[in-house]
Amino acid sequence: MAELAEKVYLITPNLKEIKQLFPKLTEEEAAIQLSKHCAVFLKGGHSLANTSNDILFIKGEKVIFESERLHSDKHGTGCVLSSSITALLAKGVSLEEACKKAKEYTANFLTSTSTLLGYHYYA
Protein backbone atom coordinates (compact mmCIF):
# COMPACT_ATOMS: atom_id res chain seq x y z
CA MET A 1 0.00 0.00 0.00
CA ALA A 2 2.80 2.43 0.89
CA GLU A 3 4.52 1.99 -2.47
CA LEU A 4 1.32 2.84 -4.33
CA ALA A 5 0.42 5.75 -2.02
CA GLU A 6 3.81 7.36 -2.59
CA LYS A 7 2.88 7.78 -6.25
CA VAL A 8 -0.31 9.67 -5.34
CA TYR A 9 -0.63 13.31 -4.25
CA LEU A 10 -4.05 13.06 -2.56
CA ILE A 11 -6.58 10.35 -1.79
CA THR A 12 -10.19 11.25 -0.89
CA PRO A 13 -11.77 8.22 0.80
CA ASN A 14 -14.97 8.28 2.80
CA LEU A 15 -15.15 6.53 6.16
CA LYS A 16 -16.30 3.21 4.69
CA GLU A 17 -13.64 3.20 1.98
CA ILE A 18 -10.71 3.83 4.31
CA LYS A 19 -11.98 1.11 6.62
CA GLN A 20 -11.86 -1.32 3.68
CA LEU A 21 -8.22 -0.38 3.09
CA PHE A 22 -7.25 -0.74 6.76
CA PRO A 23 -9.85 -2.95 8.49
CA LYS A 24 -7.85 -3.34 11.73
CA LEU A 25 -7.46 0.40 12.32
CA THR A 26 -9.95 3.13 13.16
CA GLU A 27 -10.72 5.47 10.29
CA GLU A 28 -8.54 8.21 11.78
CA GLU A 29 -5.66 5.85 12.55
CA ALA A 30 -5.82 4.61 8.96
CA ALA A 31 -5.79 8.17 7.59
CA ILE A 32 -2.80 9.08 9.75
CA GLN A 33 -0.96 5.95 8.61
CA LEU A 34 -1.71 6.63 4.94
CA SER A 35 -0.81 10.33 5.27
CA LYS A 36 2.80 9.35 5.87
CA HIS A 37 2.91 8.59 2.14
CA CYS A 38 0.36 10.95 0.56
CA ALA A 39 -2.19 13.55 1.65
CA VAL A 40 -5.57 12.15 2.76
CA PHE A 41 -8.87 14.07 2.69
CA LEU A 42 -11.10 11.83 4.80
CA LYS A 43 -14.74 12.56 4.01
CA GLY A 44 -17.11 12.35 6.94
CA GLY A 45 -20.43 12.27 5.10
CA HIS A 46 -21.07 8.66 6.12
CA SER A 47 -20.68 9.31 9.84
CA LEU A 48 -23.71 9.05 12.10
CA ALA A 49 -23.03 12.44 13.71
CA ASN A 50 -25.17 15.55 13.21
CA THR A 51 -22.24 17.16 11.45
CA SER A 52 -20.35 16.13 8.34
CA ASN A 53 -16.75 16.89 9.18
CA ASP A 54 -14.02 16.19 6.67
CA ILE A 55 -10.40 15.97 7.78
CA LEU A 56 -7.28 16.70 5.74
CA PHE A 57 -4.25 14.70 6.88
CA ILE A 58 -0.79 15.72 5.69
CA LYS A 59 2.15 13.78 7.17
CA GLY A 60 0.15 13.00 10.32
CA GLU A 61 -1.06 16.58 10.85
CA LYS A 62 -4.78 17.23 10.49
CA VAL A 63 -7.05 20.10 9.51
CA ILE A 64 -10.75 19.70 10.29
CA PHE A 65 -13.39 21.17 7.99
CA GLU A 66 -16.63 21.34 9.98
CA SER A 67 -20.07 21.64 8.43
CA GLU A 68 -23.65 20.76 9.15
CA ARG A 69 -24.99 17.53 7.72
CA LEU A 70 -26.87 18.03 4.45
CA HIS A 71 -29.58 15.52 3.64
CA SER A 72 -29.62 14.53 -0.01
CA ASP A 73 -30.10 11.45 -2.14
CA LYS A 74 -27.67 12.70 -4.79
CA HIS A 75 -24.91 10.29 -5.81
CA GLY A 76 -21.44 11.15 -7.04
CA THR A 77 -20.64 13.80 -4.47
CA GLY A 78 -17.21 12.25 -3.87
CA CYS A 79 -16.47 12.67 -7.57
CA VAL A 80 -17.73 16.26 -7.47
CA LEU A 81 -15.50 16.95 -4.47
CA SER A 82 -12.35 15.36 -5.89
CA SER A 83 -12.83 16.98 -9.31
CA SER A 84 -13.24 20.35 -7.67
CA ILE A 85 -10.08 19.86 -5.60
CA THR A 86 -8.18 18.88 -8.75
CA ALA A 87 -9.40 21.95 -10.66
CA LEU A 88 -8.45 24.26 -7.80
CA LEU A 89 -5.00 22.68 -7.45
CA ALA A 90 -4.50 23.16 -11.20
CA LYS A 91 -5.25 26.86 -10.68
CA GLY A 92 -2.45 27.05 -8.09
CA VAL A 93 -4.60 27.05 -4.94
CA SER A 94 -2.99 25.44 -1.87
CA LEU A 95 -4.17 21.97 -0.92
CA GLU A 96 -5.83 23.15 2.30
CA GLU A 97 -7.67 25.98 0.54
CA ALA A 98 -8.62 23.69 -2.36
CA CYS A 99 -10.21 21.22 0.08
CA LYS A 100 -12.09 24.02 1.83
CA LYS A 101 -13.42 25.52 -1.40
CA ALA A 102 -14.25 22.10 -2.88
CA LYS A 103 -16.26 21.22 0.24
CA GLU A 104 -18.23 24.47 -0.20
CA TYR A 105 -18.72 23.75 -3.90
CA THR A 106 -20.02 20.26 -3.12
CA ALA A 107 -22.45 21.68 -0.53
CA ASN A 108 -23.74 24.09 -3.20
CA PHE A 109 -24.18 21.15 -5.57
CA LEU A 110 -26.07 19.13 -2.93
CA THR A 111 -28.45 21.97 -2.11
CA SER A 112 -28.90 23.29 -5.66
CA THR A 113 -32.08 21.26 -6.33
CA SER A 114 -34.36 18.89 -4.47
CA THR A 115 -34.01 16.31 -7.25
CA LEU A 116 -31.25 13.78 -7.88
CA LEU A 117 -29.75 16.21 -10.40
CA GLY A 118 -27.65 19.12 -9.25
CA TYR A 119 -26.34 22.36 -10.69
CA HIS A 120 -22.64 23.05 -10.93
CA TYR A 121 -21.81 26.67 -10.12
CA TYR A 122 -19.86 28.71 -7.64
CA ALA A 123 -22.02 30.79 -5.36
Domains of the chain: 2-111 (3.40.1190.20)
DSSP conformation letters of the chain: -HHHHTT-SEE--BHHHHHHH-TTS-HHHHHHHHTTTSEEEEB-TTSSSSB--EEEEETTEEEEE--BPPP-----HHHHHHHHHHHHHHTT--HHHHHHHHHHHHHHHHHS-SSS-------
Render each residue's pLDDT in the chain as its tens digit; 123 residues.
Answer: 778 888 999 999 999 999 999 999 999 999 999 999 999 999 986 566 677 899 999 987 999 998 776 767 766 788 889 999 999 999 999 999 999 999 998 888 887 777 776 767 665
